[in-house]
């Protein structure tokens, strides 16, 4: 099986590495930046390409893993392809790839993926969609080859709902860590001190619902403490507003 990647970012990097590790030939890595293409291509023994017209067409699957904005810009530039083409975007409709010349689909890994952090795809649910049943079967087998124990079908509307929930569960919780890190730094406190707390918070919801796992001043309705915290954040409007809005939402959910 021969695959190529359009993109050299977080998702392209980890998928290409997983392909390579599983014995799937990675033919080309495309990036607008030939340097970025080279960096990933070297890792997976592929050819680096910075012009879409230089992509090898004699492959089985082209995986487009770029930002959603970039995907819209380049989605219609593969009319000379006959190989199947998929994107990896949570919130972009499958039809962005619509064509009479090739089959098209989506493989969406429900995971936070960074270049520098190895991913074990065993624990990653993949949601697939395809323009025809044969490609759907092929994508399902492909995701299992990458190691996933959980490959499911989701249409574009459902995939976006999954993506929105994932943004809250992952990107937004990570941003709460980022704010905490910045608050610690400003007070010359070591972020290390919060790591057991963050680990336990995530660990708890593996066996409890987040609602019943909640602790802290907002869930206890400790109004005096909420006021003290808001007063302490008074000079940082964005943090003040976030603290207030999230605390009010916690109180609402805990009392519902």
* Site residues (CB under 8 A) for a second copy, limited to 104-163: 110-114, 116-117, 119, 123-125, 150, 158, 160-163
Residues contacting a second copy: total by CB under 8 A: 98
- By beta-carbon proximity to a second copy, the closer residue of 105 and 109 is 109
- For residue 245 the two structure tokens come to 């809005």
Q: Where are the alpha helices (DSSP H) in 66-119?
A: 68-74
- By beta-carbon proximity to a second copy, the closer residue of 134 and 248 is 248
Interface with a second copy in residues 166-195 (CB under 8 A): 166-184, 187, 189, 191, 193-195
Q: Please give the C-alpha separations between residue 23 and each of 16, 65, 69, 145, in angstroms, as whole numbers.
A: 11, 20, 31, 10
Site map (CB under 8 A) of a second copy, residues 18-57, x = contact: ----------------------------------------
Site map (CB under 8 A) of a second copy, residues 207-246, x = contact: xxxxxxxxxxxxxxxxxxx--xx--xx----x--xxx-xx
Query: How near is the Cβ of 48 to a second copy at its closest, in Å?
Result: 22
The residues facing 5 across adjacent strands are: 29, 63
Name the residue among 124, 17, 105, 113 with its Cα closest to residue 61: 105
DSSP state of 24: -
Cα 180 to Cα 189: distance, rounded to the nearest angstrom: 10
Find the length of the chain. 256
> Using CB under 8 A, which of 21, 137, 141, 202 touches a second copy?
202
- By beta-carbon proximity to a second copy, the closer residue of 133 and 238 is 238
Query: How near is the Cβ of 133 to a second copy at its closest, in Å?
Result: 23
Cα 128 to Cα 143: distance, rounded to the nearest angstrom: 9
């Amino acid at each position: 099986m021969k695959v190529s990647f359009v993109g050299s970012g977080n998702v392209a990097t980890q998928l290409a590495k997983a392909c390579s590790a599983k014995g799937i030939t990675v033919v080309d890595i495309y990036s607008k930046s030939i340097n970025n293409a080279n960096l990933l291509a070297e890792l997976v023994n592929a050819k680096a390409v910075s012009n879409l017209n230089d992509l090898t067409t004699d492959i089985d699957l082209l995986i487009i893993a770029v930002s959603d904005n970039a995907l819209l810009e380049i989605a219609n530039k593969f009319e000379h392809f006959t190989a199947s083409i998929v994107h990896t975007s949570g919130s972009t409709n499958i039809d962005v790839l619509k064509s009479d010349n090739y089959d098209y689909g989506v493989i969406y890994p429900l995971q936070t993926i960074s270049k520098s952090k190895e991913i074990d795809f065993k624990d990653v649910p993949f949601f697939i969609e395809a323009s025809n049943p044969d490609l759907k079967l092929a994508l399902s087998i492909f995701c299992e080859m990458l190691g996933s124990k959980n490959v499911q079908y989701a249409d574009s509307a459902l995939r976006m709902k999954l993506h929105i929930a994932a943004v809250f569960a992952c990107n937004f919780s990570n941003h709460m860590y980022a704010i905490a890190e910045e608050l610690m730094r400003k007070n010359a406190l070591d972020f290390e001190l919060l790591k057991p707390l963050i680990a336990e918070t995530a660990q708890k919801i593996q066996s409890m619902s987040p609602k019943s796992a909640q602790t802290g001043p907002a869930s206890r309705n400790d109004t005096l403490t909420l006021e003290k915290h808001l007063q302490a954040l008074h000079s940082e409007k964005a943090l003040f507003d976030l603290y207030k809005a999230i605390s009010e939402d916690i109180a609402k959910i805990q009392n519902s």
